[in-house]
Amino acid sequence: MKKSFLLCALALSFITTVMASETTLIKSCSTSLGMPGEEIAVETNISIFKINSSLKAIVTQNTNGHQISYDEQAVIEEHKVKAGLNSEILMSDDIDKLNPAERVIVHAMALSVGPDFEDSFSAGLDLKKVRSAKLFIVGEQTNMGMTVIVEAKDAKGKNLGSFLGGFLVSPCK
C-alpha cells in the first residue's frame, strides 16, 4: 500500500511539474553563416521558446563536425519601419534617430549591397519593402552587435520572410 501511494505521489508530482512548465516554440531560424572568401560555414539554428511566461533561445552551431549548443535569454519587440531607408544611413548621424528594427535593416542593407563585402551577404528578401518587423533578440547587445531574428512584413502586413541579422546577415531557411 505504501509503495503504490508513493508511486502515485511521484507520478502526480511529475505530471504537475510537466504541466506547470509549458514549452512552446515561438520562432526558429536555420541558416549558414560564413565570411567572404572563407570556405568554412557555420550551420546555425536558433529556436526561441516560451517557457511559462519567459523566453529562452537555444542556439546550436555546427562546423567541421563539431557542435556546440547553448541557451540565451530572448526578448521580442515589434516596430514600424519607415520608407526610404538605405545603407548610407549607417554611417550618418541619422542612425541615432532610428528604432531598433530600422537599425538592423539599415545594417543588413549595408552588408547586402556594400562594396566592402562584395555582395556576400543577403537577407533573402527586399529590405526596401519592409514596413514593420518583429525582432527576436537573442542575448545581450555587445560592441560587436547583437543576434536577432527579424520577421519582416510589408505595408499590407504580408510576411516577406525572416533573416538573421545584427552582426552578420543571412536568410532563415
Confidence of residue 143 (pLDDT cuts 50, 70, 90): confident
The neighbouring-strand residues paired with 61 are 44, 68
For 106-142, the pLDDT digits (tens) are 999 998 876 666 567 899 999 999 999 999 999 988 8
Minimal CA–CA distance to 149: which of 159, 130, 163?
163
Place of cell 510537466: 18
Residue 170 has pLDDT above 90, yes or no: yes
68 vs 30: CA distance, rounded Å: 15
Which pLDDT band holds residue 63 (cuts at 50, 70, 90)?
confident
Distance CA 59, CA 67 (A): 10
Model confidence, pTM: 0.83
What is the predicted pLDDT for the residue at 21? Answer: 64
